[in-house]
Amino acid sequence: MSEDPAVGDILDLLSDEYARDILAATSVKPMSAKQLADQCEMSQPTVYRRVEWLREHGLIEEQTRIETGGNDYSVFAATLSEFSLALADGDFETDVERTEPPAFPGQDEQDTADRFTKMWENL
């Protein structure tokens, strides 16, 4: 069996329909718990439980959206990009690839004006 004890936990997570739905939705764009509950047709407590499990295993991250009115809120973004499981010579080999979301909107833009525009749009 794999030397990584978290592999079984990750397989358990990925076997959960709610966790998969959350990962799929947050791989498109960061979403709040309310947005996830609406899009994935689940209760907010279910969203928060699955998000916490996903965070514990580094498959999703929490980001804070700052609102001008002072009502900041959390959004969640998938960090899992690929999971593979292979069986070779009596051993399971796994690989979990994670992405690093940009630290701020527009970080990946090369043009300064485009970077500023993306940052401004996401305030």
Predicted confidence (pLDDT) per residue in 53-69, tens digit: 999 998 999 988 877 77
* Cα R_g (the chain), whole angstroms: 17
Cα(23)–Cα(117) distance, integer angstroms: 28
Cα(89)–Cα(12) distance, integer angstroms: 24
Question: Per mean pLDDT, which range of 33-47, 49-63, 72-86, 98-112 is the poorest?
Answer: 98-112
Cα(4)–Cα(119) distance, integer angstroms: 38
Backbone angles phi, psi at 46, to 5 degrees: -65, -40
pLDDT score at 34? 96
**Residue range 80-109: mean pLDDT, rounded:** 78
21 or 94, which is more confident?
Answer: 21
Residue 26: pLDDT band with limits 50, 70, 90: very high
> Mean pLDDT for the chain?
84
Cβ atoms of 85 and 93 within 8 Å: the answer is yes
pLDDT score at 21? 97
pLDDT score at 103? 60
Report which DSSP code applies to 80: E
Cβ atoms of 106 and 88 within 8 Å: the answer is no
- Proportion of the chain above pLDDT 90, given as a percent: 44
pLDDT score at 85? 87
Q: How far apart are the first and last CA of the chain?
A: 47
**Residue range 65-79: mean pLDDT, rounded:** 85
**Residue range 22-34: mean pLDDT, rounded:** 94
DSSP class per residue in 99-119: ----SSTTTT-SSHHHHHHHH
Cα(34)–Cα(37) distance, integer angstroms: 5
